[in-house]
Amino acid sequence: MSIFSRLAAFAAASAIVLTSSAAMAQGFINILTGGTSGVYYPLGVALGKIYGEKIPNVKTQVQATKASVANLVLLQQGRGELAFTLGDSLKAAWNGEEEAGFKNKLDRLRTIGAIYPNYIQIVATADSGIRTLRDLKGKKIGVTQIGSTFHYNLGNFLEKEGMALGDVEMVALQALPALSDALAAKRLDAVLTAEPFVSRIESTGAGVTIMRTGDSFPWQIATVFYGDRFARDRPRAVAFMKGYVKASRHYFDAVIKVKSGPAYDEIVALTAKYTGAAPELIRKGFPYQDRDGRLMPGDVGRQLAWWHKHNVLKTPLAEKDVVDESFLREALQGMR
pLDDT tens digit sequence for 285-329: 677 778 888 877 677 777 788 778 877 777 887 878 778 888 989
**Contact between 158 and 167 (Cβ < 8 Å):** yes
Please write the tens of the pLDDT for every residue from 141-186: 988 877 777 888 888 888 888 888 889 898 888 777 888 888 888 8
Query: Binning pLDDT at 50, 70 and 90, where does residue 11 land?
Result: very low
pLDDT tens readout for residues 26-54: 478 888 887 776 677 888 888 888 888 88
Query: Residue 17 pLDDT more than 70?
Result: no
d(CA 15, CA 169): 29
> Across the strands, what pairs with 84?
16
Find all residues with CB under 8 Å of 117, minimum gap 6, and list them: 7, 11, 12, 13, 14, 214, 221, 287, 288, 289
- Coil, strand, or helix at residue 326? helix
Both 199 and 237 in a single domain?
A: no
| Longest CA pairwise span in the chain (Å) | 58
Average pLDDT over residues 60-69: 83
Mean pLDDT across the chain: 78
Check residue 16 and give its pLDDT.
Answer: 54
Same domain, 227 and 140: no
* Residue 152 confidence (pLDDT): 80
Q: Do both 269 and 328 map to the same domain?
A: yes
- Going by their DSSP bridges, the two strands 190-193 and 208-212 should be labelled as unpaired
Domain hosting 188: range is 121-216
Q: Are residues 27 and 66 in the same domain?
A: yes
> Quick one: pLDDT at residue 218?
60
Total domains, the chain: 2
Domain boundary among 171, 197, 216: 216
User: Which residues are CB-contacts of 111 (< 8 A; sequence separation ≥ 6)?
Assistant: 15, 17, 90, 223, 224, 225, 226, 295, 322, 323, 324
Cα-based distances in Å from 140 to 161, 199, 299:
17, 21, 28
